[in-house]
Amino acid sequence: MKKSRQRVIKTVIRCSNAMVIVFDKRGEQIPEYQGYYQEVRESILRDAPNDAVFGRFPDCEIELEIIPREEW
């Protein structure tokens, strides 16, 4: 079985409803890392490179808050 080329995580966003959206460097979503925070957190932290950007949308805010990886 041939393994497909895995895209590299560039941006990770946690929404106020605990859903996580993940993008590659071209701005395309990476579905295998998306889902509820508690379900995808470990795989994202394990696989995201050091230069990945982590952010969140605080309660009812429309502006993305960039946060340190350790706090995500």
pLDDT of residue 19: 95
pTM (predicted TM-score) = 0.85
Q: Which of 43, 41, 45, 49 is nearest to 10 (CA)?
A: 49
**Quick check: 46 pLDDT over 70?**
yes
Token couple for 2: 């041939």
pLDDT of residue 9: 98
- For residue 14, which amino acid is it? R
pLDDT of residue 1: 40
Q: Which of 4, 38, 40, 44 is nearest to 24 (CA)?
A: 44
5 confidence band (pLDDT: 50, 70, 90): low
All structural domains of the chain with their residue ranges: 11-52
Express each pLDDT in 6-42 by its tens digit. Answer: 789 999 999 989 999 999 999 999 999 999 999 999 9
Contact of 20 with 56, CB cutoff 8 Å: no
